[in-house]
Amino acid sequence: MRWPFRAVTILVIVGLSVGSTLLWSELAKGVPSPVPLTSGMTGDWTTITKRFDTRVQHRFPIGSSEFDMGRVLSEQGFSQADWGGATGTEHEAVRREDSFVCKVAARIRWRASADGRLTSIRGSYGEEGCL
């Protein structure tokens, strides 16, 4: 009877060790530092999204350069999958600000004219699932 008890004890210790190591490695990553476009986002998600959208539209007004906007977004940690998308289609840039507990993303969607000027832009910031 002693061997099964020892085997179970060893398995529990190994399981706790592996689990705590995985948890520690996730927590060590931390939450990404806010950037100018995402700093100060507190409150309920509806208020945060409205504040972020206003901030995005103020920073990148209609008629501004898509190229310059892309440079700023890249510097602030946003990534875009469709840099070479067709003129007039909606594009999206995303910045992940996940924590161990929740997945959070800042998203910016826009359209641009053939000469590279913004014709529409909007932002959303929110939770995409929590434990």
The per-residue pLDDT for 69 is 96
Residue 108: Cβ-neighbour burial (10 angstroms; 0-12, 13-18, 19+)? buried
Q: List pLDDT tens digits, range 27-66.
A: 444 556 779 999 988 889 899 999 999 999 999 999 999 9
User: Tell me: the pLDDT tens digits for 72-120?
Assistant: 999 999 998 675 566 678 999 999 988 778 889 999 999 999 999 999 9
For the cut 80, the answer to whether the pLDDT of residue 121 exceeds it is yes
CA–CA dist 119, 90 (Å, integer): 10
Q: Does residue 97 contact residue 104 with C-beta atoms inside 8 Å?
A: yes
The residue written with tokens 């890249």 in the block is: 74
Q: Does the predicted TM-score (pTM) go above 0.75? A: no
Domain boundaries, the chain: 1-30, 31-130
Higher pLDDT, 18 or 59: 59
